[in-house]
Each structure stands twice: as C-alpha cells, then as structure tokens.
Chains A and B, each alone.
Chain A
Amino acid sequence: MLAKSDWTDQKIEVIIGNLLRVGVLLAASIVALGGLLYLVRHGLDPADYRVFRGEPNDLRNTAGILHWALGHRSRGVIQLGLILLIATPVARVAFSTVAFAAERDRMYVGFTLVVLAILLYSLLGSHP
C-alpha cells in the first residue's frame, strides 16, 4: 500500500486522464481497423438503415463479439473496439475506487462502488 501522501487528488486526476486517453486511442484504432476490413469486404453492398432490424444476437454480448472478432469478421472487430470504448469510463470509475481507498476516504469508496455497480449492471446484465 502506498503512503497517503503519494495520492493527491491532482495526481489521481492526471493518471485518470492518461488512462482515458489510452483507452480511447486503442478503441479507435481497433474500430478503424475493423472499419477498413468492413469497407474492403462490403463497401459495394447497398446501405440501408431506414428499417430497424436490431443486431444479430452475437453482436449484443461480449462472448459473441469476441467470437466474431477472433474469426476476423469485420463487424465483430468494430464491435470489439466499441465495447472497449464503453469499458474505458468503467475502468476510470474502478480506478477511482482504488484511489479513494488509498486516500482512506471511505465515503467516496462507497459512492464509486455504487456507480461501478450501476455500470456493470448495464454492461453485463441482460436487458430485453
């Protein structure tokens, strides 16, 4: 455990800022790579978003998306990047929990855990 004086609010914010930047850059690169594959393979197909159909089941959850992405299916690769992007703020909140714990700020550890629980419920729960 780090000494209390090593964890100032300012220092925490700088680490969080960098965490967010790396997450977004990584996510954007994966989305761009998948997008390139997608355009090469499907660029000349007709585009139609007027009618709402909803995505196939595999593109709605992490396991299915990983399966598609590992099979080099372009839409799966894009979706993997998007999941990573959605996970970036979640990682930020998780890191804040640790940082508040290191500051021995129990009240804010509690608040961040509530936010974390809501985010995980949204990301991992099933929402018909």
Chain B
Amino acid sequence: MTILEFTLLVGAGSFVAGFLGSLTGLGGGVVLVPLLTLVFKVDIRYAVGASLVSVIATSSGAAAAYVKEGFSNIRIGMFLEIATTLGALLGAYLAAKVSTAAIGVVFGLVLLYSAYLSFAGEPDISGEDKPDPLATRLRMNGSYPSLAGEKAYFVRRVPAGFSMMFGAGALSGLLGIGSGAVKVLAMDRIMAIPFKVSTTTSNFMIGVTAAASAGVYLNRGYIDPGLAMPVMLGVLVGSLAGARVLARTKTQKLRMVFAGVIAILGVEMLYKALGGRI
C-alpha cells in the first residue's frame, strides 16, 4: 500500500470513528486504536500516540460549544485534573515498561467494559441535599440551568472520586483514550454530580489529561506525523460533523449498534493479544 492510499483509508476510518463517537456520546478514541492495530496492522505504540493526539483535538474542539451552555464546573474539573494528569504520567511510563500484548489485554477489557456500560444505560442518581464539608471547603458545589430555573447541587465523597480519576488518567495514558466513561462514572455515581454537569466537565478534562501523556509519548518517539495527521484530521472533522447531526436524530438505537461494535473489537483485541499477535 502506498502512503497516499494508507492516508486516505486511515483518514476515512478516523472520520467514521469520530462521527459515531460524538453521535453516540461514547467517544471515538476507544475504537481508533483497535481500528489501527486490527485492521491497518499498525504497531500499538504508534496507534496509541496518534489516538492521544486526536483525543486532545476533539476535547478542545467541543469544549467551546459546551461552555456556552453553562453546565461545566471549572473548579471540579481543575481539582480533579491534578489526579488525572498524575495518573496520565504513570500510564505513559507504564506504556514503555509493559509488553504490547499486555497493553492489548487491558485494552480489550476496557472495550468490553465500555460496551457493558452503554448497554446498561444511564442511572438516575438522586443528588445529595446536604453539603459535604470537604466539598464545601473546596468550593465545588454549584448550580446548573434546568427547566425550573437554576438548580443547585452538592458534591460528596471527594477522596473516592479523586482516586478513581487517578485510575482514569492512568488508563488514558496507557491506552491513548479519553477515558470519558470512567471520568463520568467517578463524577456522577461516586461524587453525585448531575449527569449533564459530569459529562461536560469530563469533556473539558479529557484534553488536559491527554496532553499530560502526549508530551511523554512525543518525547519517546511514539507520535509519528505521517500516521497522526490523517487520524487527527479525520477524527476532528468527524466529531464536529457528528455534533451537528446530533441535535436532529434519535441516537438510542445507534448507541446500541456502536456498543455492539465496541464489544466485538474488545473480544478480537483480547483474542489477538492473548495469542501474542499484538
């Protein structure tokens, strides 16, 4: 295959991944690395490097739209970024220490778990009505616009959420994904932050988290310009297009289909990694 053919095919695949990722809210990063390694036979280290870069692009590109809605909470985001960036550094270091097969196994498990989460759907968490002393001291409590006007919320269990964010950062640095699902889990299920606030704040944090490991990857020579170029441009354009269509479609069915694809990729990733072919 020539570089021109390879670039066009990878660009088209990345566009589809970005488009479906933003349309279903599941993120494009999680299917990119399996696409590159399983279909295009790219070494997983190059694939993770290219994916990290595209994660930064989509997170930063979408943030401009989210902040206008007034849902994201920059204090919660900034505080938890201490945990995610430290975790991301750890993940990036581990990526050089462990075998590519081990990375493949962890990736396969994360894919299966993401698929399970999207089949399970979003639980309705009833918020806290009493302020938690630590969260209050950290000025994390806030409010968001709802149909009935500004609705206040109280954050709880900060240490548990912080620890989980460290794990989300480590996964992001090891696998080159945004770990949006784990971040949302930490915020909405553990810290009782309203779902809409969790998802927008998580999107905000993803770019900073990915930047913390991308520096290490670049310095180690894992980010190849010829591969990262079509991946980053394809995912960025795809996710922007997906965000435009989002307002006009019912995504529940599509979400199930995409979750099915993620599950299949997870099984194949595990199978190949355990067979020593990654």
Question: Are A32 and B64 neighbours in the complex by a CB distance under 8 Å?
Answer: no
The count of A-to-B residue pairs whose CB atoms sit within 8 angstroms is 212
Output the nearest chain B residue to A74 by Cβ-Cβ distance.
B225
Give the residue of B82, B225, B236 whose beta carbon is less than 8 angstroms from that of A24.
B236
Kindly identify, within residues 157 to 180 of chain B, every residue whose CB is under 8 Å from any CB belonging to chain A: none
Question: Are B229 and A31 neighbours in the complex by a CB distance under 8 Å?
Answer: yes
B226-265 interface bits toward A, Cβ cutoff 8 Å, 1 = contact, 0 = none: 1111101100100000000000000000000000000000
Output the nearest chain A residue to B4 by Cβ-Cβ distance.
A43
Task: Give Cα distance in the complex from A83 to B221, angstroms.
Answer: 13
Output the nearest chain B residue to A9 by Cβ-Cβ distance.
B74
Q: Does B112 contact A (CB under 8 A)?
A: no
A111-128 interface bits toward B, Cβ cutoff 8 Å, 1 = contact, 0 = none: 110110011011111111
Task: Give Cα distance in the complex from A34 to B7, angstroms.
Answer: 13
Kindly identify, within residues 76 to 116 of chain B, every residue whose CB is under 8 Å from any CB belonging to chain A: 78-79, 81-82, 85-86, 88-89, 92-93
Q: How many residues of B contact A (CB 8 A)?
A: 66
B181-217 interface bits toward A, Cβ cutoff 8 Å, 1 = contact, 0 = none: 0000000000000000000000000011011111110
The minimal Cβ–Cβ distance linking A51 to chain B, given in whole angstroms, is 7
Q: A14-B67, A75-B225, A127-B220 are in contact. Are A52 and B236 (CB under 8 A)?
A: no
Question: Are A89 and B224 neighbours in the complex by a CB distance under 8 Å?
Answer: no
**Within 8 Å CB of B213, what residues of A?**
122
Kindly identify, within residues 71 to 128 of chain A, every residue whose CB is under 8 Å from any CB belonging to chain B: 74-76, 78-79, 82-83, 85-90, 92-93, 96, 105, 107-108, 111-112, 114-115, 118-119, 121-128
Question: Are A55 and B85 neighbours in the complex by a CB distance under 8 Å?
Answer: no
Question: Are A89 and B7 neighbours in the complex by a CB distance under 8 Å?
Answer: no
Give the residue of B63, B138, B210, B225 whose beta carbon is less than 8 angstroms from that of A17.
B63
Interface pick from B26-34, B38-46, B128-136? B38-46
Q: Does A39 contact B (CB under 8 A)?
A: yes
Of the four ranges (under 10, 10 to 19, 20 to 34, 35 or more), the interface on chain A belongs to: 35 or more
Question: Are A119 and B208 neighbours in the complex by a CB distance under 8 Å?
Answer: yes
Question: Are A52 and B61 neighbours in the complex by a CB distance under 8 Å?
Answer: no
Task: Give Cα distance in the complex from A93 to B3, angstroms.
Answer: 37
The minimal Cβ–Cβ distance linking B229 to chain A, given in whole angstroms, is 4
Give the residue of B40, B61, B218 whose beta carbon is less than 8 angstroms from that of A82.
B218
Give the residue of A52, A112, A119 whose beta carbon is less than 8 angstroms from that of B215.
A119
Task: Give Cα distance in the complex from A123 to B88, angstroms.
Answer: 13
Q: Does B72 contact A (CB under 8 A)?
A: yes
Question: Are A50 and B41 neighbours in the complex by a CB distance under 8 Å?
Answer: yes
Give the residue of B3, B45, B67 whose beta carbon is less than 8 angstroms from that of A43.
B3
Q: Does A1 contact B (CB under 8 A)?
A: no
Question: Are A118 and B89 neighbours in the complex by a CB distance under 8 Å?
Answer: yes
Q: A43-B2, A54-B221 are in contact. Are A20 and B60 (CB under 8 A)?
A: yes
Give the residue of A52, A56, A86 whose beta carbon is less than 8 angstroms from that of B211.
A86
Q: A35-B233, A39-B7, A47-B6 are in contact. Are A52 and B223 (CB under 8 A)?
A: no
Inter-chain pairs besides A24-B60, A54-B221, 11 sampled, C-beta below 8 Å: A13-B70, A13-B74, A32-B229, A34-B225, A46-B2, A47-B6, A49-B46, A52-B46, A55-B225, A107-B138, A123-B211
